[in-house]
């Protein structure tokens, strides 16, 4: 071991099976991530491609009755999470690794005051007394730019707007200055103007606290603004991974091409409306029930070869830090007839 610190988060070969209604689907298949201390990594992909399940699996928050997970490596700041007991995991959650959820309207407890929900997080992990924890909660509200903190602490979630609630969620998530923050579509449910504020807040917090962040989104506009590296997910798998600039300049996976093509051009009027939703691409994500033989994207891909339908490609490194899981990754493919 030389001087370089371990990555904030390391995930290798994560696979998650979910049972529902008598069937089992492989929601996440062979996901690998490395998140360096303090950096932002974006995960993008259409709805249903396994982004949330990946984050929940890392925190071990999937319902045990329906979920089975496996990983060859799962490390938080060098500490192995695989063998930890539930109690040991609990001590890490909200403390060294925390999560911000997509739905601010339903993610806060409706019958407990906002202050109580922030304070209990602080007290659980940091053992402060009530007065100290309350003072700390006030600081946190200032940190997430909620004015009039004294009054806000006594309010209930139903007395706040969606944006305010998401700020409260973020305050709780950063209460213990975590090394890793998993932000699962933190702005998707919000108005466009509020989206920008929340994104800005997250980046600002990250700089101040030094937290590394996994920013899950289906919005490439968000990615361009905030992340250093991007992982593109499709049907539970990582199909492409690259530094942001490179991904936009030289995308190699046909799915990534499609995502970029469905994004409104900067400066166009649509940039002020909802940003390019990936579902504008034709076709939809296949259900991963283990019967698909080849590349999961082959059915929607204009460039698919016979090989693609027979056998799934593994990610290969085509340039430093640029990995693509496509048989034709070495070629520069073009958009064909609006299809990928």
Partner 1 sequence: MLRYILKRLLMVVPVMGVVTVVVFVLSRVGPGDPVTIMLGEFATAEQIARTRTALGLDLPLPAQYFAWLAQTLQGNLGLSLFTRKPVLELIAQSAAPTVLLTLCAMVYAVLVAVPLGVLAAARAGSLVDRAVMAGAVLGFSTPVFVLGYILAYVFGLRLGLLPVQGFPGLEAGPVAVLRALTLPALAIGATFVALIARVTRASMLEVLNEDYIRTARAKGLRRPVVLLVHALKNAAVPVVTMIGIGFGILLSGVVVTESVFAIPGIGRLTVDAIFRRDFPVIQGVVLVMSAVYVLLNLLVDLSYMLFDPRIRY
Ligand X SMILES: Nc1ncnc2c1ncn2[C@@H]1O[C@H](COP(=O)(O)OP(=O)(O)O)[C@@H](O)[C@H]1O
Pick the closer one to Mg ion by CB: 46 or 136: 46
Q: Is 230 in the site for ligand X (CB under 6 A)?
A: no
Task: Kindly tell me which residue out of 38, 48, 162, 283 binds ligand X, with binding defined by CB under 6 A.
Answer: 48
Task: Kindly tell me which residue out of 92, 198, 233, 281 binds partner 1, with binding defined by CB under 8 A.
Answer: 92
Task: Kindly tell me which residue out of 21, 22, 83, 110 binds partner 1, with binding defined by CB under 8 A.
Answer: 110
Residues 21-60 that bind partner 1 (CB under 8 A): 59
Q: Give the interface size with Mg ion as a residue count (CB under 5 A).
A: 1
**Based on the number of CB atoms within 10 Å of its own CB, is 127 exposed (0-12), middle (13-18) or buried (19 or more)?**
exposed
Q: Give the interface size with partner 1 as a residue count (CB under 8 A).
A: 29
| Residue with smallest beta-carbon separation from Mg ion | 52
Q: Is 66 in the site for ligand X (CB under 6 A)?
A: yes
Residues 49-68 that bind Mg ion (CB under 5 A): 52
Q: Which does 18 bind (CB under 5 to 8 A by kind): Mg ion, partner 1, ligand X, none?
A: ligand X
Encoding tokens for residue 50?
A: 């396994």
Q: Is 323 in the site for partner 1 (CB under 8 A)?
A: no
Residues 13-32 that bind ligand X (CB under 6 A): 18, 20, 25, 27
Q: Which does 27 bind (CB under 5 to 8 A by kind): partner 1, ligand X, Mg ion, none?
A: ligand X
Q: Which does 59 bind (CB under 5 to 8 A by kind): ligand X, partner 1, Mg ion, none?
A: partner 1
| Candidates 32-40, 107-115, 257-265, 332-340; binding stretch for partner 1 (CB under 8 A) | 107-115
* Alpha carbon distance 196, 212 (integer Å): 20
How far, in Å, are 83, 197, 240 from residue 42 at the CA level?
Answer: 27, 18, 12
Smallest distance from the beta carbon of 103 to Mg ion, in angstroms? Answer: 10
Residues 158-187 that bind partner 1 (CB under 8 A): 158, 169, 172
Pick the closer one to Mg ion by CB: 24 or 188: 188
Q: Is 111 in the site for partner 1 (CB under 8 A)?
A: yes
Residues at the site binding partner 1, with contacts judged by CB under 8 A: 59, 61, 65, 90-95, 98-99, 101, 103, 106-113, 120-121, 124-125, 156, 158, 169, 172
Residues at the site binding ligand X, with contacts judged by CB under 6 A: 18, 20, 25, 27, 45, 47-53, 66
């Amino acid at each position: 071991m030389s001087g370089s610190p371990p990555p904030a988060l390391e995930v290798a070969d994560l696979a998650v099976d979910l049972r529902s209604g008598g069937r089992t689907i492989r929601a996440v298949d062979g996901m690998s991530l490395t998140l360096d201390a303090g950096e932002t990594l974006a995960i993008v992909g259409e709805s249903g491609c396994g982004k949330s399940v990946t984050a929940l699996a890392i925190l071990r928050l999937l319902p045990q009755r329906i979920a089975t997970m496996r990983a060859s490596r799962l490390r938080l700041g060098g500490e192995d999470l695989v063998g930890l007991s539930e109690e040991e995991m609990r001590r890490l959650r909200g403390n060294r690794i925390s999560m911000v959820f997509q739905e601010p309207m339903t993610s806060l407890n409706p019958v407990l005051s906002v202050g109580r929900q922030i304070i209990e997080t602080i007290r659980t992990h940091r053992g402060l007394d009530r007065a100290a924890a309350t003072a700390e909660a006030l600081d946190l509200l200032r940190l997430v730019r909620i004015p009039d903190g004294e009054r806000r602490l006594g309010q209930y979630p139903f007395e706040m707007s969606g944006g305010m609630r998401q700020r409260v969620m973020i305050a709780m998530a950063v209460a213990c200055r975590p090394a890793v923050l998993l932000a699962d579509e933190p702005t998707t449910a919000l108005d466009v103007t509020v989206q920008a504020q929340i994104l800005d807040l997250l980046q600002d917090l990250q700089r101040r606290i030094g937290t590394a962040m996994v920013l899950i989104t289906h919005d490439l506009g968000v990615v361009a603004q905030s992340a250093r590296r991007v992982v593109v997910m499709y049907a539970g798998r990582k199909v492409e991974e690259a530094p942001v600039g490179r991904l936009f300049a030289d995308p190699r996976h046909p799915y990534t091409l499609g995502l970029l093509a469905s994004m409104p051009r900067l400066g166009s009027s649509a940039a002020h409306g909802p940003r390019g939703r990936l579902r504008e691409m034709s076709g939809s994500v296949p259900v991963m029930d283990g019967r698909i033989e080849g590349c999961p994207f082959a059915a929607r891909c204009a460039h698919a070869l016979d090989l693609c339908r027979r056998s799934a490609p593994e990610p290969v490194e085509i340039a430093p830090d640029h990995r693509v899981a496509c048989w034709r990754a070495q070629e520069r493919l073009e958009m064909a007839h609006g299809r990928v």
